[in-house]
Amino acid sequence: MPRGLVMVAMVGIVTLAVTSGCALFEDEKTAKGRKLYRHYCMHCHGETGQQAEGFNWERMPDPRPRDLSETAAMSTFSDEEIFNTISRDMRDTALQEVLDDENYFAVSTMPTFKYTLSEEELWAIVSYVRTLHGGALEFDVEGRRAQLESEFQAAKAEHDQARTVMDEALAKQEAEESARAAAEEDAEDDDDEDVEDEDEDIEEDIEEDDEEEEILLPEEEAYERASEKFEAAQTAWENFSKRPKMSQIRRPDLTAGEERQKLGEEGKRLYYDTYGCNGCHSIGDSGGLVGPALDRAGFRLNDTWVYRWIRYPQGMKKHTRMPNLGINDHDARAVVAYLDTLRAPKPDKPIPPLE
Ligand code: HEC
Ligand code: HEC
C-alpha cells in the first residue's frame, strides 16, 4: 500500500476511535465505564448517547434525556457536575426550593446510582460519558483515592488516640471512686451504732441514682466524636472501591401506623416527584419500559416483598438494572401503600377469530 494511503487509513481509524468512543484506544477505566453504562444507562440514553436511541427514550416523560454526544452543551459541565448528577440523593422535585437549588439536578426520572455503585465505578462511568462527546475525564481519580485513604488513616489514628486517653481517664475515675468508697467504709466502721440510718441512706442513694442522668467525661465525649468521624471516613474509603452494602432489610409490619389511604396518596407523589419510578415503569399508557408494568401491582405483588425490593433491590438480585434509590423506611411504606392501590382489571383476552 502506498504510504499516503496508509496515513489516510490511520487518520481514519484514529478519527473513528475518537468520535465514536471506540474501544480501540480506551484505557481500563473508560472500558469499565462503558460496560457499566451499557448495563445501567443505555436504555434511556442510547448506546452513543444520542436521543431516541435507547428503547426507553420515547416513553420517558419530559424532560427526556438530553443528547450526551453533543459536544457544545456537554463540555460546559465539569466532571464533578456529571458525577454529582449520577450520585445524588433523590429529592422532591415538586418543591420550588429543590428546583431553585442550583447545585441540585432536579429531574426525578434521572435515577441516582449513589447507592448502587462504588465511587470508582461512578468515575469510570463519567470517564466513558466524556468520550461520547469527544472529551476526556480530567478529574484526578487516583488523587481522590489517595485523599480518601489518608483521611481514613488520619481518622483511625485520631480514634485510637482518643480511646487511649478515654481509657486512662476512666481508669483514673474508677481508682478515685474506689478510694472514696474505701474511705467511707473506714468511717462507717468507726460508728457501728447507726445501722438503721445507714440503710435509709442507701435507699435514698439508689433513688437518686435512678434519676440522675449519666454524665460523660469530656474524654468520653471526645471519643464519641472521633468514632463518628472515623466511621464516616471508613465508609467513604470503603465505598470508593466497593459497592455500598446494606444489611438485610427486615420484614416490616405494614399493617400498623398511619392511615393507609393518606399514606398511599403520599406514596403516589413520591413515586412520581421524588423517585421517578415512572421513568422506568408504566402504569396504563404512560411511563417507561425498563421494568415491568405496575398497573396490577396491587393484585400481583406482596406488600412485604415490594417493601424489601424497593429498599434494597441489589440485596435480592445482585445485578438488577433497577438502582437502589436510597428510599428510607417511611417513604418505602408510602410507596408500597400506593402500589397496593394499583388494581387495573386484566386486559381483555383477544376474541378468537371465527373459523
Ligand atoms: C430512567 C432513564 C434514565 C437512566 C437509566 C439514566 N438516565 Fe441520565 N437522564 C435521564 C433524564 C430524564 C435526564 C434529564 C434530562 C436531561 O437533562 O438529559 C437525564 C440526564 C442525564 C445527564 C445530563 C445532566 C445534566 O446536567 O443535564 C447525564 C450526564 C446523565 N443523565 C447520565 C446518566 C448516566 C451516566 C446514567 C447511568 C449510570 C444515566 N444517566 C441513567 C434519564 C435516565
Ligand atoms: C432505572 C430504572 C428503574 C427505576 C428508576 C425503578 N425501577 Fe423498579 N424495576 C426496574 C427493573 C429493570 C425491574 C426488573 C427487575 C429485575 O428483574 O431485575 C424492576 C422491578 C420492580 C418491581 C418488581 C415488579 C415485578 O412485577 O416483579 C417493582 C415493584 C418495582 N420495580 C418498583 C419500583 C418503584 C416503586 C420504583 C421507584 C421508587 C422503581 N421501581 C424504580 C427498573 C427500575
Asked if 88 and 153 sit in the same domain, the reply is no
Query: What are the tens digits of pLDDT across the range 176-214?
Result: 999 999 999 988 876 655 555 555 555 555 555 555 677
CB within 6 Å of ligand 1 — which residues? 37, 40-41, 44-45, 56, 60, 63-66, 68, 77, 82, 85-86, 105, 107, 109-111, 113, 125, 129, 279-280, 288
Asked if 134 and 189 sit in the same domain, the reply is no
Q: Which domain holds residue 115?
A: 15-139
CB within 6 Å of ligand 2 — which residues? 111, 271, 275-277, 279-281, 290-292, 297, 301, 306, 309-310, 317, 320-323, 325, 335
Answer whether residue 246 is part of any domain. no
Nearest CA to ligand 2 atom 42: 322
**Under 8 Å between Cβ of 311 and 333:** no
Answer whether residue 51 is part of any domain. yes
**Residue partners of 177: CB distance under 8 A and separation at least 6:** none
CA dihedral 157, 160, 162, 168 (to 10 degrees): -140
Answer whether residue 7 is part of any domain. no
Grid cell for residue 257? 401506623
Query: What are the tens digits of pLDDT across the range 167-178?
Result: 999 999 999 999
What CATH number is attached to the domain comprising 290? Answer: 1.10.760.10
Mean pLDDT of 71-84: 97
Domain count for the chain, please give it. Answer: 3
Residue 116: which of 40, 43, 32, 60 has the closest Cα?
40
Q: What is the percentage of the chain residues whose pLDDT exceeds 90?
A: 76
Question: How many Å apart are CA 216 and CA 173, to the nearest integer?
Answer: 11
Using CB atoms within 10 Å of the CB of residue 301, give its burial: 0 to 12 exposed, 13 to 18 middle, 19+ buried. middle
Of 44, 118, 121, 275, the residue with max ligand 1 atoms within 8 A of its CB, to mutate for a pocket test, comes to: 44
CA of 293 to the centre of ligand 2 (A): 9
CA dihedral 104, 105, 108, 109 (to 10 degrees): -160
Query: What are the tens digits of pLDDT across the range 304-321?
Result: 999 999 999 999 999 999
